[in-house]
């Protein structure tokens, strides 16, 4: 009887082992596919500006006697070079973020300061487009993490809000403490997205409208970087949107120290 029991046990263990193995295989397979897609996408994204650069270089060479054309081609060369630089730095940033499972909580980061810095970086573009940017961030909250990365994440949301706003539109950035989290919301009244598009916006290289987004100079990596940064900080990012009405992106991060904690610490000291 004991042999039979043993066999049953082995059989059960066996099945579980096989199942675990199978799951592992699927996950490995999925990751492999993601990696292959990523490389294919990068190649595709880089090919276009590289082709433009070589065509423009050729055209420049042939237009040597015509200063007006030289100036025009040189201008376009510089635009393509900037696009290449932008895509390259985003790809590097994203690879770095993905390589890190979890971020070491090395810095105490002031959220109001992060929001102000991200908004400042977008002032010139907003003014050029006539978009009004209103900011309200007086949370006094701090979170553990990487200040530079957090600024990039909020910057990307603000840059998108401006890019996908209509001229003369309004963008609002607000930060609030809710329980033991801090919420940073970026709202625009721009073109918005439908439900199907919303599901995919955080995917790498995803752009709702390739042609339109290309005009904004985007690479489709901005929101992936936001997602990975926020996840590395133990938070999440959500989005609400309606076509033609606008969008709200909200980052939520666990607070290191709430203003109330700081106040009571002070009281203890005195």
**Binding span for ligand ADP by CB under 6 A among 56-64, 107-115, 200-208, 255-263:** 200-208
3-state secondary structure 111-176: HHHHHHHHHHCCHHHHHHHCCEEEEEECCCCEEEECHHHHHHHHHHHHHHHHHCCCCCCEEEEEEE
Complex with ligand ADP: residue 54 or 82, whichever CB lies closer: 82
Question: Cβ distance 82 to 90 under 8 Å?
Answer: no
Give backbone dihedrals phi and psi of 169, rounded to 5 degrees, phi first.
-75, 180
Rule CB under 6 A: say whether 174 interacts with ligand ADP: no
DSSP-based three-state secondary structure for 106: coil
- Which listed residue (191, 251, 253, 256) binds ligand ADP by CB under 6 A? 191
Note whether 160 binds ligand ADP by CB under 6 A. yes
Stretch that binds ligand ADP, among 14-22, 109-117, 211-219, 251-259 (CB under 6 A): 211-219
Per CB under 6 A, does 161 bind ligand ADP?
A: yes
For residue 218, give the 3-state DSSP assignment: coil
**Looking at beta carbons only, is 68 or 167 nearer to ligand ADP?**
167
Q: Does 206 bind ligand ADP (CB under 6 A)?
A: yes
Residue 258: strand, helix, or coil: coil
- Residue 239 has phi, psi (to 5 degrees) of -140, 140
Stretches 91-99, 100-108, 174-182, 221-229: which one binds ligand ADP (CB under 6 A)? Answer: 221-229
- By the 8 A CB rule, do 46 and 87 touch? yes
Rule CB under 6 A: choose which of 41, 122, 232, 247 binds ligand ADP. Answer: 247
* Among 46-54, 91-99, 190-198, 228-236, the segment contacting ligand ADP (CB under 6 A): 190-198
169 binds ligand ADP (CB under 6 A): no
């Amino acid at each position: 009887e004991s042999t039979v029991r043993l066999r049953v046990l082995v059989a059960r263990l066996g099945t579980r082992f096989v199942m675990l193995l199978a799951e592992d295989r699927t996950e490995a397979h999925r990751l492999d596919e993601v990696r292959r897609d990523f490389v294919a996408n990068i190649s595709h994204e880089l090919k276009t500006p590289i082709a433009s650069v070589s065509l423009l270089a050729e055209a420049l060479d042939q237009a040597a006697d015509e200063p007006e054309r030289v100036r025009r081609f040189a201008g376009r060369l510089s635009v393509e070079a900037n696009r290449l630089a932008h895509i390259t730095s985003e790809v590097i940033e994203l690879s770095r973020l993905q390589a890190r499972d979890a971020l070491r909580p090395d810095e105490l980061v002031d959220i109001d300061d992060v929001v102000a810095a991200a908004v400042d970086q977008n002032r010139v573009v907003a003014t050029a487009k006539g978009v009004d940017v209103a900011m309200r961030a007086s949370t006094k909250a701090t979170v553990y993490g990487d200040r530079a990365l957090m600024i990039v994440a909020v910057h990307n949301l603000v840059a998108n809000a401006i890019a996908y706003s209509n001229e003369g539109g309004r963008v609002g950035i607000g930060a609030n403490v809710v329980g033991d989290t801090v919420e940073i919301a970026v709202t625009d009244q721009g073109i918005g997205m439908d439900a199907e598009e919303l599901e995919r916006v955080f995917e790498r290289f995803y752009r709702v409208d390739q042609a339109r987004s290309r005009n904004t100079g985007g690479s489709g990596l901005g929101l992936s970087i936001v997602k990975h940064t926020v996840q590395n900080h133990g938070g999440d990012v959500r989005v609400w949107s309606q076509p033609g009405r606008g969008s709200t992106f909200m980052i939520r991060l666990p607070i290191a120290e709430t203003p109330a904690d700081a106040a009571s610490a002070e009281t203890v000291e005195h």
